[in-house]
Amino acid sequence: MAAGAIIAKVAGAVLSNEKGRELVLVLITAILMPIILLLLVWIPLLSGTADANVTLVDCCFKNAAIPDSFTDEQKAVIEDMKTQLDSIDKIIADKENSADYDANMVKAVFYCLQFGAEPSEDDEEFDLELFCDCFAGIPFSEIERAYENISENFPDLKVTDNVKFGVENIYKYLTEGVKR
């Protein structure tokens, strides 16, 4: 209690005169200014990142033109992803039970797990058919089951919280046009 009383008296003395109030305002400004500056720098950067991500999704999923500003390497990664996504569509279409697959969900998960990933060190091709089978009969509301199937069949693929967040955003963008 003695410490509280002392703090109250000091605060009262400091705030009761004009120079004391100015000092408190300067201190508050000095503390908050770096935070404000960081926000002013990061908010435009984050919105630019979101726009760049939408551009990549549009290029891969909706065959939008690849911007000229992209490097040859970036263009090659996008073209490879487009080929893989087209293969997923074909695999699902060729299945007897193709209606049991949500192609947008399969492709959103594949994109988030594989976009820009280095090719496997072994000579085997990625088994897209087995990957698609991880989603058979699973609606988006039960996607955790698909993640479990992926973990069992593809132990090298890590379904992190960031991947799940990306999948949810891409899926909503593909199915509802919602971008976050």
125-180 confidence digits (pLDDT tens): 789 999 999 999 999 999 999 999 999 999 999 999 989 998 998 999 999 886 55
Total structural domains within the chain = 2
Residues 91 and 154 grouped into a single domain: yes
Residue 108 lies in a domain: yes
Tell me the residue range of the domain where 135 lies.
66-176
Residue-averaged pLDDT of the chain: 81
Cβ(60)–Cβ(81) under 8 Å? yes
Residues 100 and 30 grouped into a single domain: no
Tens-digit pLDDT profile for residues 67-95: 998 889 889 989 999 999 999 999 999 99
- How many angstroms separate the CA atoms of 166 and 56, rounded? 13
DSSP 9: H
Residues 80 and 157 grouped into a single domain: yes
Residue 55 lies in a domain: no
Contacts of 97 (CB under 8 A, 6+ apart): 136, 137
